[in-house]
């Protein structure tokens, strides 16, 4: 049973890490702001502290595998952004703020219900996008794929499964409606 849990944790962590890499790569294409030397040093110090805290939480066997994966992903974000800053790359403030964010504590039933409501609203927008773009199969397909992601997260939350926060965030995204 322990081996299965470990493998599930590794799978969740790897999927979440892949999501982080894609998210950071897409954010690199966005506008970036310059930092002063003191701001860069302060950000590096905060990122190193966040990274250590997140790695400690990720190795805590008292929390569930999904929460551990969330902490692992946050630690990797902090590590990546730190390296970029150390090597003089220009890093958007949003990436730094995201890397410094601390995964929340486990969700209450009320929070899960609120997430499900938000996800159902996003699904309605996906449905509308599918209907609006029936003449353009590529756009309609984007909305249909997003709808499938959203449905999978809704279903998992409704049956009480733990869902990584990055996966919920991606499910809440609605394709751009031109």
Domain containing residue 34: 2-100
Domain annotation covers residue 177: no
Provide φ and ψ at 29, rounded to 5°: -80, -15
Same domain, 9 and 93: yes
pLDDT in tens, the chain (178 residues): 454 455 555 555 554 544 545 444 444 444 445 678 888 889 999 999 999 999 998 898 887 787 888 889 899 999 999 999 999 898 898 889 888 887 766 677 888 899 999 999 999 999 988 888 877 888 888 999 999 999 999 999 999 888 887 788 889 998 887 6
- Structural domain tally of the chain? 2
Domain annotation covers residue 135: yes
Query: What residues contact 15, with CB distance under 8 A and at least 6 apart?
Result: 164, 167
Same domain, 53 and 138: no
What is the pTM (predicted TM-score) of this model? 0.52
Same domain, 95 and 113: no
- 156: exposed, middle or buried (Cβ count in 10 Å: 0-12, 13-18, 19+): middle
Query: What is the rounded distance in angstroms from the CA atom of residue 47 to the CA atom of residue 67?
Result: 20
**CA-based nearest residue to 101, from 23, 4, 8:** 23
| Boundary of a domain, candidates 42, 77, 100 | 100
């Amino acid at each position: 049973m322990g081996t299965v849990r470990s493998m599930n944790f590794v799978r969740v962590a790897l999927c979440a890490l892949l999501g982080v890499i894609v998210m950071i790569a897409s954010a690199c294409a966005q506008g970036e702001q310059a930092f002063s030397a003191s701001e860069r040093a302060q950000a590096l110090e905060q990122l190193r502290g966040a990274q250590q805290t997140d790695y400690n939480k990720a190795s805590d066997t008292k929390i569930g595998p999904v929460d551990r994966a969330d902490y692992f992903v946050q630690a990797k974000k902090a590590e990546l952004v730190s390296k970029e800053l150390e090597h003089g790359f220009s890093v958007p403030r949003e990436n730094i703020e995201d890397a410094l964010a601390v995964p929340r504590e486990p969700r209450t039933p009320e929070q899960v219900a609120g997430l499900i409501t938000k996800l159902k609203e996003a699904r309605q927008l996906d449905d509308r996008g599918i209907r609006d773009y029936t003449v353009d199969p590529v756009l309609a397909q984007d909305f249909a794929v997003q709808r499938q992601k959203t449905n999978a997260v809704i279903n998992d939350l409704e049956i009480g499964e733990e869902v990584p926060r990055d996966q919920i965030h991606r499910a809440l995204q609605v394709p751009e409606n031109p």
